C-alpha cells in the first residue's frame, strides 16, 4: 500500500488553501440536488444518445457501404476507442481548468460533430468523424463521475450516480429509437443530424443548471505530478479489479446489442428496422435499475450489489439463446437491468476508493470501460460470423464469469472505501 508520504510527492499541489466542510456537500431533497441531477441526467442522456445512436444502423451501413458486420461495428468502436485514450488527457485537464467548463465544451463539440457526420461522403469519412467525436466526448464521463464524488454528500452520491447513469440509459434508448425509426422511413443521415440537435439542447441545459464546483481543488499544471497520480491509482490492486470490471461490463453489453439487430432481421424473426429499434425500449429497465441498485449499493454494500448485477447479466444473456422472441426480449431486459446496476455500483466504488485526483481514477475506469466496448464489440463480429448467436453468447458468458469472480473477491476483501461509503 502506498504510504502517505509518497502520495504527497506524487499528487499535484492544490492551489486552494482549504477544502470546504463535508456538511456543505449537496444532499438529496435540496434545490441544489435537483438542479445537479437535472444537469447530469441531461449530460448522461445526450452522451449515450450521441455515442450509441449508430448501433441500430449497423445493418444499414453494411448494406449501403458493402461492408461486413465487424467492419460496420467501427461506427461505434472508432468512437469508444479514441474516447478511451482521450479521457486520460481530458480528466487531467479538468484538474487544472475545472469540471464544469470541460463538461460543457465536450458535450457541445460532440453534438456538432454528430451533425457533421450526417454529411459524410463515404464510409471512411464517417468512421473518421466518429473517431474525432470520441476525442470530444472524453471531457464528460470521467469528469461527471469526479463531480459527483466531490460535490455530493456520501449518503446521496449513490443515488446521484444512479440517476446520471439512468439518464445514460434513456439516452441510449432515445438515440437508437430516433436513428432507427428515421432510417426506416427516411434516411440515416437525417437521424444522425436529429440526434446532434438533441445534443446541443442538452449541452445548453448542462451549462445553465449545473451548479459551480464548491469542493473542487484546482491544481497547478504538472505532467510529472499528474502522471504520478495515475501511477498511484494503478498500484492499487482493488482499483485495478474495478477497472477490469469496467472493461468486461461494457464490452459484454455492447457486443450483445451490436449483433442483436443482425440476428433479429434475419429469418425466422425477419423484423423490420423499426421493430428492432423498439426492442431497445428495454433500456427503460436500466434507467430504473441504475438508480435503485446505485442507492442500495451505497446503503447495503457495493460488493453484494455488484455480484447480484453480474449474475443478472449472465442470466439475461443465456435467455437470449431461446428461439422465442418474447423470451429474447425478456433476456435483454434482464441483461440491461444488470448492466446498468453493475456500472452504477462499480463506477461509484471507484470514486469512493480514490482519495485524490478522482477524475483521473474515474478516467482509468472509463478507459477500460470504453476499451472493452471497442475490443469486445468488434471481436463479437468474428464470433458471430464463425459460430452465429451461440458463439456471441459463449464469448459474453465467459467474460461475465470472470467479472463475477473479480466482484466476489472485492466483496470478500473490500478494503477501505472512502469516508461515509460502504464497500
pLDDT tens, 383-414? 999 999 999 999 999 999 999 999 999 888 75
Grid cell, residue 179, equals 436513428
pLDDT of residue 19: 43
What is the average per-residue pLDDT within 148-172? 76
pTM, to two decimals: 0.72
| DSSP code string of 78-130 | HHHHHHHHHHHHHHHHHHHH-HHHHHHHHHHHHHHHHHHHTT-SSHHHHHHHH
pLDDT of residue 24: 74
Q: Is there a contact between 210 and 36 (Cβ–Cβ < 8 Å)?
A: yes
What is the average per-residue pLDDT within 42-70? 90
**Dihedral sign (CA 410, 412, 416, 419):** positive
**What gap in Å lies between CA 171 and CA 144, rounded to an integer?**
16
What is the average per-residue pLDDT within 220-229? 69
Q: Is the pLDDT of residue 11 over 50?
A: no
- Return the top range by mean pLDDT from 222-226, 359-363, 391-395: 391-395
What is the average per-residue pLDDT within 205-223? 77
Q: Can you tell me which residue has the cell 487544472? A: 96
Angle at 292 between CA 287 and CA 296, to 5 degrees: 150
Which phi-psi region, left, alpha or beta, contains residue 418 (left: φ > 0; alpha: ψ -120 to 50)? left
Grid cell, residue 152, equals 455530493
Q: Is the pLDDT of residue 14 over 70?
A: no
**What gap in Å lies between CA 312 and CA 288, rounded to an integer?**
15
Using 50, 70 and 90 to split pLDDT, how confident is the model at 293? confident
pLDDT of residue 220: 62
Let me know if 31 is exposed, middle or buried by CB neighbors in 10 A (0-12, 13-18, 19+). Answer: exposed
Q: Which range (4-13, 224-233, 381-390) has the least confidence? A: 4-13
Q: Can you tell me which residue has the cell 472509463? A: 366
Q: Which range (48-52, 143-147, 382-386) has the least confidence? A: 143-147
Question: How far is CA 236 from each of CA 23, 230, 416, rounded to the nearest angstrom?
Answer: 29, 10, 11
**What gap in Å lies between CA 267 and CA 49, rounded to an integer?**
29
**What gap in Å lies between CA 316 and CA 304, rounded to an integer?**
18
Grid cell, residue 50, equals 450521441
Q: Which domains does the chain have, with CATH numbers?
A: 30-209+229-412 (1.20.1250.20)
Q: Is the pLDDT of residue 16 over 60?
A: no
Using 50, 70 and 90 to split pLDDT, how confident is the model at 419? very low
- Tell me the pLDDT of the chain averaged across its residues: 83
Q: Which range (81-95, 201-215, 364-378) has the least confidence? A: 81-95
Q: Percent of the chain scored above 90 by pLDDT?
A: 41
**What gap in Å lies between CA 282 and CA 169, rounded to an integer?**
9
Q: Is there a contact between 344 and 161 (Cβ–Cβ < 8 Å)?
A: yes
Using 50, 70 and 90 to split pLDDT, how confident is the model at 17? very low
- Return the top range by mean pLDDT from 147-161, 187-201, 359-373: 187-201
Provide the 8-state DSSP code for 24.
Answer: G
Q: Is the pLDDT of residue 113 over 60?
A: yes
pLDDT of residue 144: 82
**What gap in Å lies between CA 382 and CA 300, rounded to an integer?**
40
Amino acid at each position: 500500500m502506498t504510504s502517505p508520504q509518497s502520495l504527497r510527492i506524487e499528487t499535484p499541489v492544490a492551489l486552494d488553501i482549504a477544502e470546504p466542510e463535508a456538511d456543505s456537500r449537496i444532499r438529496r431533497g435540496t434545490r441544489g440536488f435537483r438542479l445537479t441531477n437535472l444537469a447530469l441526467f441531461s449530460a448522461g442522456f445526450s452522451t449515450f444518445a450521441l455515442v450509441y445512436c449508430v448501433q441500430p444502423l449497423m445493418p444499414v451501413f453494411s448494406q449501403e457501404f458493402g461492408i461486413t458486420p465487424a467492419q460496420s461495428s467501427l461506427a461505434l468502436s472508432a468512437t469508444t476507442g479514441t474516447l478511451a485514450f482521450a479521457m486520460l488527457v481530458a480528466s487531467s485537464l479538468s484538474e487544472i481548468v475545472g469540471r464544469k467548463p470541460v463538461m460543457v465544451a465536450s458535450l457541445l463539440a460532440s453534438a456538432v460533430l454528430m451533425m457533421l457526420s450526417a454529411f459524410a461522403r463515404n464510409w471512411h469519412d464517417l468512421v473518421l468523424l466518429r473517431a474525432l467525436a470520441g476525442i470530444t466526448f472524453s471531457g464528460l464521463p470521467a469528469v461527471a463521475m469526479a463531480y459527483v464524488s466531490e460535490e455530493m454528500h456520501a449518503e446521496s452520491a449513490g443515488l446521484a450516480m444512479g440517476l446520471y447513469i439512468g439518464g445514460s440509459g434513456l439516452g441510449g434508448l432515445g438515440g437508437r429509437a430516433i436513428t432507427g425509426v428515421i432510417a426506416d422511413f427516411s434516411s440515416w443521415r437525417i437521424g444522425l443530424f436529429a440526434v446532434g440537435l438533441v445534443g446541443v439542447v442538452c449541452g445548453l441545459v448542462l451549462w445553465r443548471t449545473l451548479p459551480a464546483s464548491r469542493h473542487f481543488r484546482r491544481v497547478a499544471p504538472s505532467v510529472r505530478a499528474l502522471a504520478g497520480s495515475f501511477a498511484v491509482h494503478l498500484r492499487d490492486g482493488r482499483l485495478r479489479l474495478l477497472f477490469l470490471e469496467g472493461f468486461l461490463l461494457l464490452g459484454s453489453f455492447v457486443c450483445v446489442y451490436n449483433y442483436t439487430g443482425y440476428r433479429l432481421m434475419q429469418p425466422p424473426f425477419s423484423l423490420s428496422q423499426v421493430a428492432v429499434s423498439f426492442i431497445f425500449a428495454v433500456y427503460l429497465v436500466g434507467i430504473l435499475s441504475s438508480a435503485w441498485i446505485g442507492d442500495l449499493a451505497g446503503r447495503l454494500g457495493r460488493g453484494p450489489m455488484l455480484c447480484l448485477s453480474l449474475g443478472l447479466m449472465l442470466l439475461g444473456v443465456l435467455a437470449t439463446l431461446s428461439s422465442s422472441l418474447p423470451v429474447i426480449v425478456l433476456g435483454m431486459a434482464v441483461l440491461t437491468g444488470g448492466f446498468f446496476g453493475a456500472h452504477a455500483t462499480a463506477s461509484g466504488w471507484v470514486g469512493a476508493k480514490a482519495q485524490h485526483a478522482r477524475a483521473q481514477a474515474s478516467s482509468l475506469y472509463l478507459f477500460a470501460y470504453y476499451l472493452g466496448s471497442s475490443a469486445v464489440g468488434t471481436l463479437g463480429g468474428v464470433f458471430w460470423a464463425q459460430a452465429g448467436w451461440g458463439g456471441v453468447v459463449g464469448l459474453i458468458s465467459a467474460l461475465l464469469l470472470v467479472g463475477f469472480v473479480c466482484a466476489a473477491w472485492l466483496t470478500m476483501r473490500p478494503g477501505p472505501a472512502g469516508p461515509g461509503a460502504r464497500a
